[in-house]
Amino acid sequence: MGIKVLLVDDHLVVLRGLRFFLSTQEDIEIIGEVENGEAAMKAVEEQKPDIVLMDLMMPVMDGVEATKRLKESHPEVKVVILSSFSDQDHVIPALQAGATGYQLKDVEPDVLVETIRKAAKGEKYLHPKATDLLMSEMTSDVSKETALIHDLTKREKEVLEQITLGKSNKEISNDLYITEKTVKTHVSHILSKLEVHDRTQAAIYAMKNRLFESS
Amino acid sequence: MGIKVLLVDDHLVVLRGLRFFLSTQEDIEIIGEVENGEAAMKAVEEQKPDIVLMDLMMPVMDGVEATKRLKESHPEVKVVILSSFSDQDHVIPALQAGATGYQLKDVEPDVLVETIRKAAKGEKYLHPKATDLLMSEMTSDVSKETALIHDLTKREKEVLEQITLGKSNKEISNDLYITEKTVKTHVSHILSKLEVHDRTQAAIYAMKNRLFESS
DNA sequence: AATAATCTCAGTCAAAAGTCTGAGGAGGAC
DNA sequence: GTCCTCCTCAGACTTTTGACTGAGATTATT
C-alpha cells in the first residue's frame, strides 16, 4: 500500500502537474484533489489521507488556517506546504500551524517526492529558504538591538526583569525588599533609558530582545 | 576549481573516513585536516577554505565556540557541523553560533556531499532531527496554553493586539475609532478572560504564546 | 580628597488604568 | 418574535502608574 496523498491547490494546472509526476512513483497514491482549505477538511474526513500536499494562497480558506484546523481535528495527518516564492511571510505561520514539510513550487520532482516520503515517516523536510527563515527567526533579535539595555544599571535590569514577569510596583518592592517609591524611581529611569512610555512597552522591548530567561 | 573543505575532528578514523569518500567527489577538494577548534582557526586563516566540516565534541576548543569565532573573523566561510548528537543542547547552540549545515555522523555519504554543496552555495541543509528541534523550539509554548484566547471575541483580540504594540487606551481608541470608555470595557474583559491583572501581563501572555505577527 | 554613579527614599501631582453598574442597538440563533 | 452575544458608550470611583524635585548613603573612580 502506497502513501495516500491529497492534493490541495486552487490552480488546475498545478493539480494536473502534481498528479502527473507524483503518479509515476510506485509508493505514492493520489487519492483526491480539491481546490481550497474548506474542501480539504471534508476530503480528509472522508478519505483519510496520509499526506496533504497543500498550497498556501487559496480562496475560501487559506493554507495556514486549513493546516491549523487539520492538525486540530486530525493530528495524525501530515501536511506538506507547497508554496510559491512570493509568500515567504507565511513560512513561519505555516510551520507554527503544524506543517511537517515546506517546499517551493520550483522544487525538483524527486525532492518533492523525497519530502513526501520523509513526511510520511514523520520526518521534517524543508526547503533551504524555509530553514533559513526559521534560523534567522531564532537568532535574530537576540543579539540585535540590545544597545539601549547597556545603559541600564544592575538594579534597573533586575527591576525590568520583574516587569517582564508581569509584577506591579508593589509586588516588585516586596520581592526586592525596597519601597514602592524606590521601584517607581527605577521604573522611571528604565522607561527613559529604553525610550519607551510605559511598563508595557518596556516589557515588550525586553521580550522581543530576549533579555531574560523568561522570554 | 572544487569546493575547498577543511576537516576538523579529533578522531583520526573519522578524518580518514571523511577524506576517503569526499575525495571521490570531483568538485570537492580536501585542503586540510586538523583536530581541534583552535587549530581550525589557524588553518582557516592560512588556507581560506570554502567549507569547514566540523565535529562538535573536541578538546581544546569545541565546535560551538570554534564556529562562533570563525563566523566573527571569517563570515564568508561556511561551517557544516558533523556531530553524533541530535539533541537540542547541541543543535540549537551550534545553529545560533552560525552553522550553515548540521548532519549526524550516520549520514549517507551522498547526503553529506549534498549538504556541503548546498552550504557552498549558502543554502542551509539540516538533518531532519535538527530541523525538528528547530521547529519545536519555535513552536513550543505556541500551541500550548492558547485555550484562554479562544474565549476572546473578535474585537477583543483586536484590542489585545493593539496592547501588544504598546499602545495606550487613548491611542487604541483613536486607531479603532471607538471611545476610550469602550476600549476600557474591552480591556477589562480581556484581563478577566485571560485571567491576568493588567495590560502588561496581557501583553506578555500574548507574546509568549505568539498570538500575533509582531511577537 | 573629590567626583561621579548608583541605590535608596519621600512628597506632590497628573495621568492612565481598571472596576462596576447600567444600558441601547445590531445581528445571529432558535 | 425572543433569546443571546457582541459592540458600543457613560458615570462614578479606586488604584496604579509615572513625572518631577530633592536628598542622604554607599561605592567606585580618578
pLDDT in tens, A36-84: 888 888 888 888 899 999 888 777 777 788 888 888 788 889 999 988 7
- B173-207: b or e for each residue (b if 16 or more CB lie within 10 Å)? beebeeeeebbeebbebbbebbebeebbbbbbbbb
* Contact call for residues A164 and A214 (beta carbons, < 8 A): yes
Asked if A124 and B142 come within 8 Å (Cβ–Cβ), the reply is no
Q: How far apart are the first and last CA of chain B?
A: 45
pLDDT tens-digit series, residues A4-48: 999 988 877 778 878 888 888 889 989 989 888 888 888 888 888
Dmax (CA) of chain B: 74
* Distance between A196 CA and the closest CA of chain B, angstroms: 9
| pLDDT at position A143 | 42
> Is residue B35 scored above 80 in pLDDT?
yes
pLDDT tens-digit series, residues A173-183: 999 999 999 99
Of A98, A135, A201, the CB nearest to B124: A135
pLDDT tens-digit series, residues A77-114: 999 998 876 566 778 778 878 888 888 877 778 888 88
Cell of B208: 509568549
DSSP annotation string for B183-207: HHHHHHHHHHHHT-SSHHHHHHHHH
Q: Write phi, then psi, for B4 (nearest 5 degrees).
A: -85, 120
Residue A150, exposed/middle/buried by CB under 10 A (0-12, 13-18, 19+)? exposed
> Is residue B105 scored above 50 in pLDDT?
yes
Rounded to whole angstroms, how far apart are CA atoms B86 and B90? Answer: 7
| pLDDT at position A134 | 77
Cell of B183: 476600549
For an interface test with B, the pick among A110, A137, A204 (most B C-beta atoms closer than 10 Å) comes out as A204
Rounded to whole angstroms, how far apart are CA atoms A128 and A115? Answer: 12
pTM: 0.62
**What are A183-190's contacts with CB under 8 Å, separation 24+?**
A183/A159, A186/A155, A186/A156, A186/A159, A187/A159, A187/A163, A189/A153, A189/A156, A190/A152, A190/A156, A190/A159, A190/A160, A190/A163
Distance from chain centroid for Cα B15: 27
Place of cell 524555509: A130
Asked if B128 and A125 come within 8 Å (Cβ–Cβ), the reply is yes
Is the CB atom of residue A183 positioned under 7 angstroms from any atom of strand D? no
Rounded to whole angstroms, how far apart are CA atoms A117 and A52? Answer: 12
| pLDDT at position A182 | 94
Q: From the alpha carbon of A163, which nucleotide's C1' atom is closest?
A: D17
Rounded to whole angstroms, how far apart are CA atoms B37 and B40? Answer: 5
pLDDT class for A170, splitting at 50, 70, 90? very high
pLDDT tens-digit series, residues B118-163: 889 888 888 888 887 877 766 654 444 456 666 788 999 999 999 9
| pLDDT at position A131 | 81
